[in-house]
Amino acid sequence: MSLKDQITEDMKNAMRAKDSERLGTIRLLLAAIKQKEVDDRVLLDDVAVVAIVDKLMKQRKDSIEAFQKAARTDLADKEAAELVVLQAYLPARLSADEVSVAVKAIVADLTAELGRPAGPGDMGKVMGAVKAQLAGKADMGQVSAAVKAALAG
């Protein structure tokens, strides 16, 4: 069963259970998936669906931060509840150590390819390669920090 089918099934289950908060979040996710499919005129695979979930999660995290700064705990709690629902559709995340090891391997490959040590100026090249390899498997903020550390040291 594809991830999109699983999300649709979860929506039906939330409807049956009359779980309105969960249902609203799942409908939001399905709407984002459908919008992407219509805009690009393609059927999305699991990797693309994970990317959409990742994007929605980042939006929720940013909203939570903004609501907390504005002392709107009611809205921050709502966003946090949506974040928990969305989290269920992501694959298991890599640990910080696993991300660091993967980034170091990619930097070593790039160094061999360039014929010189990779430096901070190569951040874009490294991030492009890392995104292709770790998309959906790791938090990109964590990945960015690991890339900066690998290129600096």
Which CATH number does the domain housing residue 15 bear?
1.10.1510.10
Q: Provide the number of structural domains found in the chain.
A: 2
Predicted pLDDT of residue 153? 66
Query: Does 18 share its domain with 67?
Result: yes
Query: Does 147 share its domain with 102?
Result: yes
Query: Does 7 share its domain with 82?
Result: yes
Query: 37-51: string of b/e by CB count within 10 Å (b at 16+)?
Result: eeeeeeebeeebbbe
Query: Does 13 share its domain with 70?
Result: yes
Are the C-beta atoms of residues 48 and 32 closer than 8 Å to each other?
Answer: no
**Which percentage of the chain shows pLDDT scores above 90?**
53
* Count of other CB atoms within 10 angstroms of residue 113: 11
Contacts for 33-39 with beta carbons within 8 Å, 24 or more apart? 33/4, 33/7
In the chain, the amino acid numbered 15 is: M
Query: Does 104 share its domain with 75?
Result: no
Task: Name the pTM for this structure.
Answer: 0.77
How does pLDDT run across 86-138, given as a tens digit for each residue?
A: 999 988 888 888 888 888 888 888 888 877 887 788 888 888 888 888 877 88
How does pLDDT run across 41-61, given as a tens digit for each residue?
A: 999 998 889 889 989 999 999
For residue 118, the enclosing domain spans: 96-152
